[in-house]
Amino acid sequence: MRIIKKDKKYLYAKHSFRKNGKVITKEKYIGKTNNFLNQEERMKKANQFMEEWRKESKTEINNTLEKIKNNFQAEWTKLPESIKEKELEEISTAFTYNTNAIEGSTITLEETREIIHDKISPNKPLRDVRETEAHSKVFLEMLKNKEITNEILLNWHRQIFGETKSDISGKFREYLIRVGSYLAPDWQEVKGLMNELILFIENSKKMNPVELSARAHYKFERIHPFGDGNGRIGRILMNHILWHNNYPMLIIENKKKRQYYKAFNKGEDGFVTYFIKRYLAVHKKRIK
């Protein structure tokens, strides 16, 4: 944002941003130059304009997200139950493959389909096979249960990692953990922070569910409550919020994990911006 003069006596706040590949510029009249004694007064007026623009922009985005939800529900309700079941199995396959691949699983997309649908085990590490089976099962169960509690999150973790990481499965960590350069909160704070997260989700019903999903995911990953498997549980949580608020889900693709990881380094608002842009890009066909 910058302040510009027109005809040497009129002040305008000017803001440019990119939308759908195009640069859009907005201007708002602030007043005559001689009405402002100093730069501070000018900036105060310009900041008021920016706040108004942010509110307008957020309303526009929320309306677009609402359109995605409505069009998705219109599509979904037309499907026969047997087709819905098959569609959810395909989503489960794609989601399970990508979320596990992000965490280093060696199972391919086709092998994931064989494990889930055909009960065929590839010649891959048994741990990866077991976690693929368990993850798909948890995901499909999640779609049926609207409630979200710490006990449910612990149970998801126990089901996915019970056979492969029995020493940490279904337990909040009781030790410090570092993720790259990020040092997660002290383990003694984990239970309290998780209680706060559950309350945040429960008390944010007026927030658009896509934004809530992004913020809940970000907060969960910053807490990093488990010794391992935080990414997978966090991504199930974000889709739980979307699905049970009638929004289509979002699969973070393994091939785009670099942007996903980078977004966490931009702070909560930066991650939310990334998440919503990604969501709009994935579901752009439902905007029309």
* Number of domain units in the chain: 2
Domain that holds residue 46: 2-58
Examine the pLDDT at 18 and tell me if it is beyond 90.
no
Q: Is 140 within 8 Å of 133 (Cβ atoms)? A: no
CATH at 155: 1.10.3290.10
230 and 117 housed in the same domain = yes
Mean pLDDT of the chain: 90
45 and 111 housed in the same domain = no
pLDDT band, residue 56 (cuts 50/70/90): confident
Residue 176 lies in a domain: yes
Distance, CA of 47 to CA of 65 (rounded, Å): 27
User: Last residue of some domain: 58, 90, 105?
Assistant: 58
Residue 55, pLDDT score: 78
Residue 207 lies in a domain: yes
Count other Cβ atoms within 10 Å, centred on residue 98: 20
Residue 51, pLDDT score: 73
Residue 65 lies in a domain: no
95 and 29 housed in the same domain = no
48 and 158 housed in the same domain = no
204 or 28: which leads in pLDDT: 204
The per-residue pLDDT for range 60-79, each reduced to its tens digit, is 999 999 999 999 999 999 99
Residue 63 lies in a domain: no
**Percent above pLDDT 70 for the chain:** 84
Residue 22, pLDDT score: 67
46 and 163 housed in the same domain = no
Distance, CA of 81 to CA of 111 (rounded, Å): 26
pLDDT band, residue 81 (cuts 50/70/90): very high
Distance, CA of 240 to CA of 153 (rounded, Å): 11
The per-residue pLDDT for range 110-151, each reduced to its tens digit, is 999 999 998 898 999 999 999 999 999 999 999 999 999 999
Residue 71 lies in a domain: no
136 and 39 housed in the same domain = no
Residue 120 lies in a domain: yes
Examine the pLDDT at 5 and tell me if it is beyond 90.
no
165 and 246 housed in the same domain = yes
92 and 228 housed in the same domain = yes
105 and 158 housed in the same domain = yes
Q: What is the DSSP secondary-structure string of the chain?
A: -EEEEETTTEEEEEEEEEETTEEEEEEEEEEEGGG-SSHHHHHHHHHHHHHHHHHHHHHHHHHHHHHHHHHHHHHHHHS-HHHHHHHHHHHHHHHHHHHHHHTT----HHHHHIIIII-PPPSS-HHHHHHHHHHHHHHHHHTT-----HHHHHHHHHHHHTTT-TTTTT----S--EETTEEPPPGGGHHHHHHHHHHHHHT-TTS-HHHHHHHHHHHHHHH--SSS-HHHHHHHHHHHHHHTTTPPP----GGGHHHHHHHHTTHHHHHHHHHHHHHHHHTGGGT-
Residues in the chain: 288
159 and 267 housed in the same domain = yes
Rounded mean pLDDT, 47-53: 72
Residue 160 lies in a domain: yes
The per-residue pLDDT for range 182-222, each reduced to its tens digit, is 999 999 999 999 999 999 999 998 999 999 999 999 999 99
103 and 7 housed in the same domain = no
Distance, CA of 30 to CA of 215 (rounded, Å): 34
Residue 180, pLDDT score: 87
Q: Of 1-5, 94-98, 103-107, give the lowest mean pLDDT range.
A: 1-5
Residue 69 lies in a domain: no
13 and 143 housed in the same domain = no
Q: Is 227 within 8 Å of 235 (Cβ atoms)? A: no
